[in-house]
Amino acid sequence: MIPQHASALLISDLHLTPSMPLTAQRFFDFCEKDVSQVEAVFILGDLFEYWVGDDAASQSPFLQEVKSALANLSTKTKTYYLHGNRDFLVGSSFLKKTGMTVLVDPSLVKIAGHQYLLAHGDALCTADVGYQVFRTWTRKRWVQKLFLAFPIAWRRAIANHLRANSHAQYQRNAKISYRQNQIKANVTLDACAASLRSHACDKLIHGHTHLPAHHQESSGEQIWQRWVLSDWDLDHPEGARPRANALLINDQGVRSIDLIKVC
């Protein structure tokens, strides 16, 4: 039975971390003030900058504050969580304490009478073969159990090392070929078409790429719509204008909500 709701807000890629306090505060405000008019909230991954285990979260005052905000959110509206590439280790202990319902990636949902396929989006970036190999390995249960058996300090060090390497590689590739780098960092038409076809759906919503837009796409006789969610960043105005968007779906249709303007 797929989730069915008359209205919903969808967000992703907040990358919450203590070093981004303005972004975190906007999320806390979102949980408190912005959800009263919808039946459900869907968080499509990368809510956190990184996650190295539920036990590590219990030692972090910041993550405990996020947990409380999510638990409060779940008392106001049905809240769903779909893992991203940064927080795929969020476990059952944390989810139970927040009251959220976990979804597999991808998942079909029905909102305002229409079916949508929800995904984080990283699995659709099939042009990046190296990342897809890494993703396959890190999703293996035995690899995750091995990682979670390490001391928390080791796990944090590994996570920081991987993040630094990923950023450095992106910068190197951008200097060599900006266009090729953009292709590798984005979803592919074939992957979107295949996923939608396997779920008999023609509407896809995802995050991950930080390229918010609404696309009308086709492959052969297959036609679909694709919405990309915004990332959130209110702490680095020197890089780009502050952003914090949500996708609102109700009986009026689908539209992007600028949460900076409404706060």
Structural domains of the chain sorted by starting position, each given as residue range(s) with its CATH number in brackets: 4-127+188-262 (3.60.21.10)
Query: Mean per-residue pLDDT for 102-113?
Result: 97
Q: How far apart are the first and last CA of the chain?
A: 35
Give residue 167's pLDDT band: very low, low, confident or very high (50, 70, 90).
low
- Distance between CA 68 and CA 71 in Å, rounded? 5
pLDDT value for 104: 97
pLDDT value for 191: 97
Is residue 242 within 8 A of residue 34, CB to CB? The reply is no
- Distance between CA 181 and CA 179 in Å, rounded? 5
Q: Is the pLDDT of residue 178 over 60?
A: no
pLDDT value for 127: 93
pLDDT value for 263: 55
Q: Is the pLDDT of residue 258 over 90?
A: yes
- Distance between CA 94 and CA 114 in Å, rounded? 31
Give residue 69's pLDDT band: very low, low, confident or very high (50, 70, 90).
very high
